[in-house]
Amino acid sequence: MLAPGKQPVYRADHLLIAQMVARGARVLDVGCGDGSLLQLLADTKAVDGRGIEVSRERVNACVARGLSVIQGDADIDLADYPDDAFDYAILSLTIQATLRPKEVLEQLLRIGRSAIVSFPNFGHWRVRARLLATGRMPVTENLPEAWYVTPNVHLCTIKDFAELCRAVGARVEQAVAFNAAGRKLGTWVPLTAHNLLGEKAVFMLTRRWRG
């Protein structure tokens, strides 16, 4: 819990995700970290929230602050949940760290009526410029680790992700790209521009198939 008088600082993608979530919804946050998104959703949207987190220390901290979180792995443990168990299955800045992003996305779409996925955009101009200028794997503010230690083993661009959505039969209900300050890019901007100018993106998806 926060100390009294201290204003929480929310992550830009968390605030965008919170706007997409309906009040009182059942939510699963996959890779919930320290639980800040779950806390935000509980505080502002009164959701019935659950989390999965791979790090034991973070899980224990989440449970100690009263959140319903289990220690588990997105690549393995999503299979346990029944179809449509949640209104929203959320994966915030986690998909790039999974071993099998396609399977994870399919599981999200199966267990959630909607899936919300945010990810760092590897197509951002600064990443491209870094690669072009230095000829080395880009290390940026969003992707701060060297290639040999980064947990982000499956990086993608906004265009790549849009293609994965098509491949798994997901319908894109909303897609928002935003910059470091969390400013959304206008919807009038074409996808190519989003892919160039958005540092991160949030997609809300539903499945085209019936589970």
The footprint of another protein on residues 122-141 (CB under 8 A) is none
Q: Count of CB atoms within 10 A of residue 145's CB?
A: 11
Contact region for another protein (CB under 8 A) — 81-89, 120-128, 153-161, 163-171? 81-89
Q: Which of 5, 8, 82, 144 is in the footprint of another protein by CB under 8 A?
A: 82
How many angstroms separate the CA atoms of 120 and 94, rounded?
9
Q: Which of 39, 86, 115, 168 is in the footprint of another protein by CB under 8 A?
A: 86
Contacts of 2 (CB under 8 A, 6+ apart): 8
Is 77 a residue that touches another protein (CB under 8 A)? yes
Number of residues that bind another protein (CB under 8 A): 23
How many angstroms separate the CA atoms of 75 and 158, rounded?
22
Helices then strands, counting H and E runs in the chain, come out as 8, 7
**Residue 156 DSSP one-character state:** B
Minimum CB separation of residue 208 from another protein in Å reads: 23
Ranges of H-type helices in 100-171: 101-111, 125-134, 158-167
Contact region for another protein (CB under 8 A) — 17-25, 58-66, 102-110, 147-155? 58-66
Phi, psi of 111 (to 5 degrees): -90, -20
Nearest to another protein of 114, 118 (CB atom):
114
Is 211 a residue that touches another protein (CB under 8 A)? no
Nearest to another protein of 68, 150 (CB atom):
68
Q: Are 69 and 53 a contacting pair, CB within 8 Å?
A: yes
Is 73 a residue that touches another protein (CB under 8 A)? no
How many angstroms separate the CA atoms of 109 and 169, rounded?
9
Is 60 a residue that touches another protein (CB under 8 A)? yes
Q: Which of 44, 71, 174, 179 is in the footprint of another protein by CB under 8 A?
A: 71
Interacting residue ranges for another protein, rule: CB under 8 A:
26, 48, 50, 56, 59-60, 62-72, 77, 80-82, 85-86
